[in-house]
Amino acid sequence: MFSQRLKQLPNNVRQYLIVTGNYWCFTLTDGALRMLVVLYFYELGYGALDIALLFIFYEAFGVITNLFGGWLGARWGLNRTMNIGLGLQIVALGMLLVPAGWLTVVWVMIAQALSGIAKDLNKMSAKSSIKVLVPKGESGQLYQWVALLTGSKNALKGIGFFLGGLLLTTVGFHHAILIMALALGVVWLFSLWQLGGDLGKASNKPKFSQIFSKSREINILSAARLFLFGARDVWFVVALPVYLSSQFGWDHWSVGGFLALWVIGYGIVQSLAPHITGKRTNQVSSAKIVTLWALALTALPAAIAIGLQLAFYPLIVLLGGLILFGAVFAINSSLHSYLIVQFASKEGVSMDVGFYYMANAMGRLIGTLLSGWVYQEFGLISCLWVSCCFLLLASLISLWLPKDTSQS
């Protein structure tokens, strides 16, 4: 019944729904896995830097995957790269089903490397597909479809955080991993059956030497994206969960639940970004609007850091500031996600998108490493000041973007 109704829809809508569904399911397991690994290994006595090291390969291989994955997507088709990503995530989950004694740092890092490759193949494929599926010239629809995909993905990642904490509390680490692997296997089989062939495949197979972007606006946007996501992850990925546990005595249920609600709210705001910025149908004035929203975001980690330094209701300052940061960051992220798809060439779109998300992954890698090291050596307040500096750099770089995207 469901497959019959799906076939009755216009092809571009049907493919968009399948791509989005794949992305949703993958993201749910990705968010749950992140929370499971952080909380489980913290329970085992690992320090903040050790936990950060578990995610080095996850982020590092994301950098490589985006660069090569965009090229593979243009040669093989985005349906294939998306299905490969789903399959690799199942393998990564399977690696964590070994006995507890085998879960060494090196083993988990290798599993996280596969998960990082899977995540970025999936994300690159999903974002690139929208450019192919939206008719040319429909910038308003493009913005809304990108915002919906990105926002709903992050809301589900938040639910994944909540799910990770819930599963760890109720069934334990290994059973949680098994449940997610089986569920994702069903999604993978459906995707192999239904996702259209040759989606996003370039008519002329691109050369390997073309993996680096030659577009000025994409290079500028990529540099801004690197610092934008580095600014988030430098205090959010490792420092914040550990700080809430160690300073306020939160258990893993409380940490997972709060961060889940934060990311869900963040995703909802992302989905509403076209309405908030007032640019649903006309062109986004990229340099002006991106810079203004980045500057607004820059002030927030600075305000939180000052509040914590003054010990002025620290928990209220931290949680309230985090909520505001999430809302403003969501607008920034949604604008970026729209602009990269808008700037990208429709022919071989995955190469432009892949290059851009390589910069995104590089920012996350830098942020993750600094999150563990800076927190362990200097504390959360220092992480917040590093975040502020990164956001200021992102704001300055954004000034070089074109004044509007009407010619892109």
- pLDDT the model gives residue 295: 96
Chain segment 242-285, per-residue pLDDT in tens: 899 889 998 877 887 788 788 889 889 999 988 888 655 445 55
- pLDDT the model gives residue 369: 84
- What is the value of pTM for the model shown? 0.80
- pLDDT the model gives residue 118: 93
Chain segment 139-192, per-residue pLDDT in tens: 677 788 788 888 888 888 888 887 888 898 899 999 999 999 999 999 999 888
- pLDDT the model gives residue 281: 45
Name residues of the chain where pLDDT drops below 50.
281-282
Domain 2-398, CATH: 1.20.1250.20
Instruction: Report the 3 state secondary structure along the chain.
Output: CHHHHHHHCCHHHHHHHHHHHHHHHHHHHHHHHHHHHHHHHHHCCCCHHHHHHHCHHHHHHHHHHHHHHHHHHHHHCHHHHHHHHHHHHHHHHHHCCCCHHHCCHHHHHHHHHHHHHHHHHHHHHHHHHHHHHCCCCCHHHHHHHHHHHHHHHHHHHHHHHHHHHHHHHHCCHHHHHHHHHHHHHHHHHHHHHHCCCCCCCCCCCCCHHHCCCCCHHHHHHHHHHHHHHHHHHHHHCCHHHHHHHHHHCCCHHHHHHHHHHHHHHHHHHHHCHHHHCCCCCCCCCHHHHHHHHHHHHHHHHHHHHHHHHCCCCHHHHHHHHHHHHHHHHHHHHHHHHHHHHHHCCCCCHHHHHHHHHHHHHHHHHHHHHHHHHHHHHHCHHHHHHHHHHHHHHHHHHHCCCCCCCCCC
